[in-house]
Chains A and B, each alone.
Chain A
Amino acid sequence: MKYYLGIDIGSVSTNVIAMDKDYNVCFNQYIRANGQPLESVKKGMTKLKEAIGCSDDDILGIGTTGSGRELAGVLVGADVIKNEITAHATATLHFHPDASTIFEIGGQDSKIIILQDGMVTDFAMNTVCAAGTGSFLDHQAERLGVPIEHFGELALTAEKDVRIAGRCTVFAESDMIAKQQYGFSKAEIIKGLCTALVRNYINNLARAKKLKPPFIFQGGVAANVGIRKAFEDEVGEKVIIPKYFNVMGAIGSAILAKEYIEENNIEKPNFKGFEQLELEFKPTSFECNGCSNMCEVIRVISSDNEVLAVWGDKCGKYAGTSKASQTSGR
């Protein structure tokens, strides 16, 4: 069997998928990165190799996406390194070609994508703060002592509505404490929180946009039935959760890699091999004193002191010195 791989490196999770030539997803894994995205890429790739029993030659191409896409792309040797919007939309359109609106909520960002005739026509991403994203829910779940996995179900059992201020985590927290003191149950508070999150999301991202069905909800937070219900109440329509909702970015990047490889008739993908992933590499940072910008430059160095990737220099003095700058295909 031959496969295309997709890797999505987000702030909270790292997702790895393998897909065959006919777009069947043969392997998918959602890994909580716990602040170690590089380690989780390694872990994910190793698991993938074991699970589907493939060798280096079976890999036809790799795509990476997410905020860590550049680094991961260098490590594995990606053929395509794409932004999250394009990757998510590509995957959604594959499974739901008629989709009109995508709600995507991840660990630290949220986006809305508007589609028409199978094309992205508009999108928005959250700007300054992470209120209303997965991290916010995680934090509140912890505070209430409810495992995040049961958060949504609990919300559905609420009997009454209670309004929680969801504009900001700090305000939400003090509001929740106040409502708890009035005697509202945990379930009701959680339901209020779900509604607040959706209200915040719609206010921030969907203003002045015409939202049309079919609605698709994806990203890690789509696992939460409470949020899904809140979305359905908000738009007054059914909201579809795709089968692979939490790895859509990774699937999209695999599809983009396939398109790229096939369109350009590439016979040898950039993939560096599974063995390469076992090598050690570590990030280092220093403050450049070359000029008064004093950029914080981040470098990833392999065990044999080869510079794999460089970020953060405004002038590009170091960017050209890494292997990242020599990778092609985007």
Chain B
Amino acid sequence: MKIGIPRALLFQYYYPLWRSLFERLGFEIVVSDESTKPLVQKGIAVTVPEICFPIKIYNGHVINLMEKGVDYIFCPRFVHIEKDYWFCPKYIGLPELVEMSVPGSNVLVAEIDCQREDTADPKCYAPVAKKLGIPMSKMKTALKGAAEDFAKFREYCHLGLTLDEAAKVMFEGASVEDFILPEYDTTIGLIGYIYNVYDPFISMNIIKKLRELKVNVITFDMLDARQLLKYRNNCTRPIFWTFPDKLYQSASVMIKDLQVQGIIHITAFGCGPDSIVGKEIEHDFADSGVPFMTLRIDEHTGESHLQTRIEAFTDMIKRKIRKVKEVREVNEVKR
């Protein structure tokens, strides 16, 4: 019995949990290939045109998995992982959206409606247990173990590893030391949803590009979920979507506590929540002196467009650091 997991949307964040869970239950898992042009094109072809780019990519991955001959497509419905905070409607309707766009996709749906960041509440996975014909007692045990693995994975992230790097430590025998980078004089907060930052087809490897420009990169997933709550009460206008709120709170922590010198917001064209959250961050922190840049990505974005902007942004910060240093040196000589 093969369970297919699309390498899209929240994949990089929850993969360790899902992998651990299904392996503990004794199933074989198949992950779709990395996003490529033909894979994405297939997704675009079957999806309604109005919807955002990441969903089109998700459908491309579903098709890819069906070509690989899996029995189920694991497609969780994310509604809540925290009280009063919702997922975007596209997540809430995702299983139906996939079934309608890709006929014959046999979706395996976990109903994520709980108050746990790791989603490992047995009631969410009861429909999965039922469909796979496994007793709930077995599911509970497997979830407990999976939750522990997820917690371990998140610990690696908190050390400053990207999700990809943390997964390599978890599953491929890499050590944390392999990913320790030199400390540069420039630190940029890169905020964007999992898929915008980690799908190389969307992000065009932005983390790598920034590191090549000698920049330390902090992403929201490197921060502890509790750390993200620190300034939530100061927020003038609560954001009631789960991940958009995480982005806003991470910007807040990065600016106030982590002394980032700039924030880059990477967003997919047509994202509803981002149109609010991006502007809200820009407005609320306008007086902080930390520059903010939005990078908007869609199906037609060229790589040079992205390169020019991140180069200009990094250049601005580095030249500022240099100038401030020069002025300081001149003043010291005068004294």
- Residues of A with Cβ closer than 8 Å to B? 67, 82-86, 117-125, 127-128, 207-210, 291-294, 311-312, 314
| A208 engages B283 (CB within 8 Å) | yes
| B36 engages A86 (CB within 8 Å) | no
| A125 engages B38 (CB within 8 Å) | no
| B296 engages A84 (CB within 8 Å) | no
| A127 engages B294 (CB within 8 Å) | yes
| A83 engages B312 (CB within 8 Å) | yes
| B38 engages A124 (CB within 8 Å) | no
| B36 engages A118 (CB within 8 Å) | no
Of the candidate stretches B8-16, B135-143, B177-185, B285-293, the one touching chain A is: B285-293
| Known A121-B289, A294-B38: A85·B283 in contact at CB below 8 Å | no
| B298 engages A292 (CB within 8 Å) | no
| Known A85-B316, A210-B286: A124·B293 in contact at CB below 8 Å | yes
Of the candidate stretches B68-76, B154-162, B227-235, B303-311, the one touching chain A is: B303-311
B268-288 vs A, Cβ < 8 Å mask (1 yes, 0 no): 010000000001001100100
Report how far A83 CA is from B303 CA in the complex, Å: 14
Report how far A314 CA is from B201 CA in the complex, Å: 10
| Known A67-B308, A121-B320: A82·B37 in contact at CB below 8 Å | no
| B37 engages A119 (CB within 8 Å) | no
**Interface on chain B toward A: helix, strand, loop, or mixed SS?**
helix
B185-198 vs A, Cβ < 8 Å mask (1 yes, 0 no): 00000000000000
The answer, among B296, B316, B323, for a CB contact under 8 Å with A118, is: B323
Residue of A nearest to B267 (CB): A127
Report how far A86 CA is from B311 CA in the complex, Å: 9
Asked whether any CB of chain A lies closer than 8 Å to the CB of B319, the reply is yes
**Chain A: minimal CB distance from B283 (Å):** 5
- Residues of B with Cβ closer than 8 Å to A? 33, 36-39, 269, 279, 282-283, 286, 289, 291-294, 296, 298, 303-304, 308-309, 311-313, 315-316, 319-320, 323
- Of listed A207, A291, A292, A312, residue having the most chain B CB within 10 A: A292
| B319 engages A207 (CB within 8 Å) | no
**Interface on chain A toward B: helix, strand, loop, or mixed SS?**
loop
Q: What 3 A-B pairs are tightest by C-beta distance, nearest first?
A: A85-B312, A292-B36, A83-B312
Residues of B within 8 A of A85 (CB): 312, 315-316
| B37 engages A294 (CB within 8 Å) | yes
| B298 engages A83 (CB within 8 Å) | no
Residue of A nearest to B321 (CB): A119
| B291 engages A292 (CB within 8 Å) | no
A-B contact count (CB 8 A): 69
| B282 engages A208 (CB within 8 Å) | yes
Residues of A within 8 A of B319 (CB): 86, 119-120
Question: Can you list 5 A-B contacts with CB-CB less than 8 angstroms, sorted by A residue number?
Answer: A122-B291, A123-B312, A128-B296, A207-B282, A291-B36
Report how far A97 CA is from B191 CA in the complex, Å: 33
The answer, among A121, A291, A292, for a CB contact under 8 Å with B316, is: A121
Residues of A within 8 A of B269 (CB): 128
**Chain B: minimal CB distance from A63 (Å):** 13
Residues of A within 8 A of B315 (CB): 82-83, 85-86
**Chain A: minimal CB distance from B161 (Å):** 24
**Chain B: minimal CB distance from A18 (Å):** 24
| Known A86-B319, A121-B320: A67·B312 in contact at CB below 8 Å | no
Report how far A123 CA is from B311 CA in the complex, Å: 12
**Chain A: minimal CB distance from B6 (Å):** 17
The answer, among B283, B286, B312, B323, for a CB contact under 8 Å with A119, is: B323
Report how far A253 CA is from B137 CA in the complex, Å: 68
Residues of B within 8 A of A82 (CB): 315
| B316 engages A123 (CB within 8 Å) | yes
Residue of A nearest to B315 (CB): A86
Residue of B nearest to A292 (CB): B36
Residues of A within 8 A of B36 (CB): 291-294
| A86 engages B316 (CB within 8 Å) | yes
Residues of A within 8 A of B312 (CB): 83-86, 123, 125
The answer, among B33, B38, B39, B291, for a CB contact under 8 Å with A121, is: B291
Residues of B within 8 A of A293 (CB): 36-37
| A120 engages B279 (CB within 8 Å) | no
Report how far A117 CA is from B326 CA in the complex, Å: 13
Residue of A nearest to B285 (CB): A208
**Chain A: minimal CB distance from B170 (Å):** 26
Residues of A within 8 A of B279 (CB): 207-208
Residues of B within 8 A of A119 (CB): 316, 319-320, 323
Residues of A within 8 A of B294 (CB): 124, 127
| B316 engages A120 (CB within 8 Å) | yes
| Known A83-B311, A207-B279: A128·B298 in contact at CB below 8 Å | yes
**Chain A: minimal CB distance from B145 (Å):** 36
The answer, among B33, B304, B309, for a CB contact under 8 Å with A125, is: B309
Residues of A within 8 A of B33 (CB): 292
- Of listed A124, A210, A311, residue having the most chain B CB within 10 A: A124
Report how far A86 CA is from B294 CA in the complex, Å: 18
Residue of B nearest to A81 (CB): B311
Report how far A292 CA is from B298 CA in the complex, Å: 20
Report how far A311 CA is from B282 CA in the complex, Å: 34
**Chain B: minimal CB distance from A319 (Å):** 12
**Chain B: minimal CB distance from A143 (Å):** 26
